[in-house]
């Protein structure tokens, strides 16, 4: 259910991106919006939303597990009001300092004023998502995943509706971009409000309480510091990529081109790895609180295998079909044919690290569930330094060099997290992971070749009208998916059984 809701959200996110590229393309002032969006998004990642939930869930779940329900809700109420008041003040500060914050990206004149103005419109999302982080953390601790997953759907619908309805009536690009920024803010308000009715159905409620003396509150913030740094550093990497793209590649093309590829790349990531990590996180937190290390180890191994089973073939398909996928999704309106090759090369570079990004997402949460978050924090700092070095080394090869640096960083980060996790949990069952992994890689390589051959044959036969592209790309993806399922059965990849079992239960 969580994966289905997340799939809907990510799919609508892709629709939103298609609409954006239709109206704005990837050249010109849309790059100012990309910068203005990424900076508040980094602040959000540092102090709100996922970072907050990742620190909150282990503490809140542990109190519930111990039967201290009243105390758990008192702690939740305290955290809620601390975040609401503190992040509102922080938002006001960032709005005031926006000119200084945006200056390093190298925009000047009218473009600089646009970047500053757009960022000021979107900075309030930080406070709003801080509130959302507590609400989502509570719901996840009670194993309620659907409502939080549906909230981003509403966010995307609000933005799509605003753009489709409003942009045709506006003349200047500046007015259109301010409409876009306002829609992001309005959508965030709706995202915060949607899960509230589910919150009210639980066996407790948020009250006007500030119990700063409770040790659990202090422990949550102690956990949040390294969690904030480790998860935040991932987003710092994205901002570093954007900085290199704007300062050293092409400020009027590269940031938006990379962002357009990133949105496609995040579709399978959001559907599969985010769903697996989010659903397993409360379970891992409870197992860690009980000291059930064998069960926790088995859960981690299961999560890693499922992510590999789902994301390796997705990575192979994205790389093999990067050009036709980008052409089908974006090439219309302000997005020209010459832009397709640029975004497709960036997508192929991102695809190389897709699976490793998903495994990092899960492995970080394993350490958070163990309430030992400083290990992924130091690893995140190490890969940030590596990312800086790789960006500096690879930006000269072209726009796709920046996504390639990100993919390499994901590989190294996964290796380091696995190494240190082995020290915490012991052997993770390397044979149980590596044997199916080898089979999955072989099957995925064959699937990539099959999908490309199917696309090429149909493309040559029926051309590239919109309908023809839907047929050729859709058939290629379907053929690749079916081929993968058949190969998984022939190669006895046992991770297929979980999928078949799920389908069987849904049918009954």
Q: How far is it, in rounded angstroms, from Cα 427 to Cα 119? A: 47
Domain ranges of the chain: 2-428
Helix boundaries (H) for 48-172: 50-65, 69-96, 98-102, 109-122, 125-141, 146-166
Q: How far is it, in rounded angstroms, from Cα 18 to Cα 132? A: 27
- Encode 182-227 in three state secondary structure: HHHHHHHHHHHHCCHHHHCCCCCCCCCCCCCCCHHHHHHHHHHHHH
Give the mean pLDDT of 46-66.
75
Q: What tokens does 95 get?
A: 């709005």
Q: What tokens does 236 get?
A: 């710092």
Least confident of 14-28, 230-244, 357-371, 486-500: 230-244
pLDDT(211) > 80: yes
Q: Are the C-beta atoms of 450 and 483 separated by less than 8 Å? A: yes
List Cβ neighbours of 237 (8 Å cut-off, separation of 6 or more): 383, 384, 387, 406, 409
* pLDDT at residue 2, rounded to an integer: 65
* pLDDT tens readout for residues 95-136: 999 998 888 887 777 888 999 999 999 999 988 988 888 888
**DSSP classification of residue 172:** S
Query: Residue 426, by phi and psi: left (phi above 0), alpha (psi -120 to 50) or beta?
Result: left
> Residue 464 belongs to what H/E stretch?
none
Q: Which residue has the higher pLDDT, 307 or 229?
A: 307
* pLDDT at residue 267, rounded to an integer: 83
Q: How far is it, in rounded angstroms, from Cα 72 to Cα 65? A: 10
């Amino acid at each position: 259910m969580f994966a289905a809701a997340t799939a809907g959200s990510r799919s609508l996110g892709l629709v939103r991106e298609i609409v954006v590229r239709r109206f704005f393309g990837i050249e010109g002032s849309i790059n100012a919006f990309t910068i203005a969006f990424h900076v508040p998004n980094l602040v959000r990642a540092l102090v709100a939303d996922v970072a907050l939930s990742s620190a909150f869930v282990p503490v809140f779940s542990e109190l519930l597990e111990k039967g201290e329900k009243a105390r758990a809700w008192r702690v939740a109420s305290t955290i809620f009001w601390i975040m609401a008041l503190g992040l509102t003040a922080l938002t006001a500060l960032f709005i005031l300092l926006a000119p200084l914050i945006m200056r390093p990206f190298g925009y000047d004149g009218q473009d600089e004023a646009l970047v500053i103005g757009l960022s000021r419109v979107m900075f309030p999302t930080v406070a709003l998502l801080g509130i959302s982080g507590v609400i989502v953390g509570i719901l996840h601790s009670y194993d309620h995943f659907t409502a939080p997953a549906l909230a981003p759907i509403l966010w995307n619908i609000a933005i799509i509706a605003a753009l489709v309805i409003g942009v045709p009536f506006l003349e200047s690009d500046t007015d259109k971009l301010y409409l876009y920024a306002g829609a992001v803010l309005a959508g965030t308000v709706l995202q915060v409000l949607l899960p509230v009715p589910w919150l009210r159905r639980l066996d407790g409620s948020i009250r006007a309480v500030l119990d700063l003396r409770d040790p659990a509150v202090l422990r949550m913030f102690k956990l949040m510091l390294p969690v904030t740094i480790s998860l935040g550093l991932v987003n710092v990497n994205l901002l570093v990529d954007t900085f290199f793209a704007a300062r050293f590649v092409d400020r009027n093309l590269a940031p938006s081109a990379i962002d357009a590829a990133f949105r496609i790349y995040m579709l399978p990531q959001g559907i599969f790895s985010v769903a697996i990590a989010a659903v397993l996180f409360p379970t891992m937190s409870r197992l860690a609180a009980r000291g059930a290390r064998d069960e926790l180890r088995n859960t981690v191994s299961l999560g890693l295998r499922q992510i590999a089973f789902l994301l390796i073939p997705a990575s192979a398909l994205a790389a093999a079909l990067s050009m036709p996928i980008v052409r089908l999704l974006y090439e219309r309106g302000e997005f020209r044919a010459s832009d397709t090759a640029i975004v497709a090369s960036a997508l192929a570079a991102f695809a190389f690290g897709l699976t490793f990004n998903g495994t990092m997402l899960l492995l970080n949460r394993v350490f958070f569930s163990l309430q030992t978050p400083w290990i992924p924090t130091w690893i995140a700092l190490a890969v940030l330094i590596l990312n800086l070095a790789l960006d500096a080394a690879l930006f000269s090869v072209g726009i796709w060099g920046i996504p390639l640096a990100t993919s390499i960083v994901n590989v190294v980060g996964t290796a380091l997290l696995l190494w240190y996790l082995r020290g915490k949990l012991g052997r993770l069952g390397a044979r149980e992971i590596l044997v199916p992994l080898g089979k999955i890689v072989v099957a995925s390589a064959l699937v990539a070749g099959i999908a490309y051959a199917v696309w090429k044959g149909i493309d040559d036969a029926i051309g590239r009208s919109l309908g023809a592209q839907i047929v050729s790309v859709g058939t290629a993806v379907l053929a690749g998916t079916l081929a993968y399922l058949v190969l998984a059965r022939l190669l006895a990849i046992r991770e297929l059984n979980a999928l078949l079992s799920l389908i069987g239960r849904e049918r009954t």
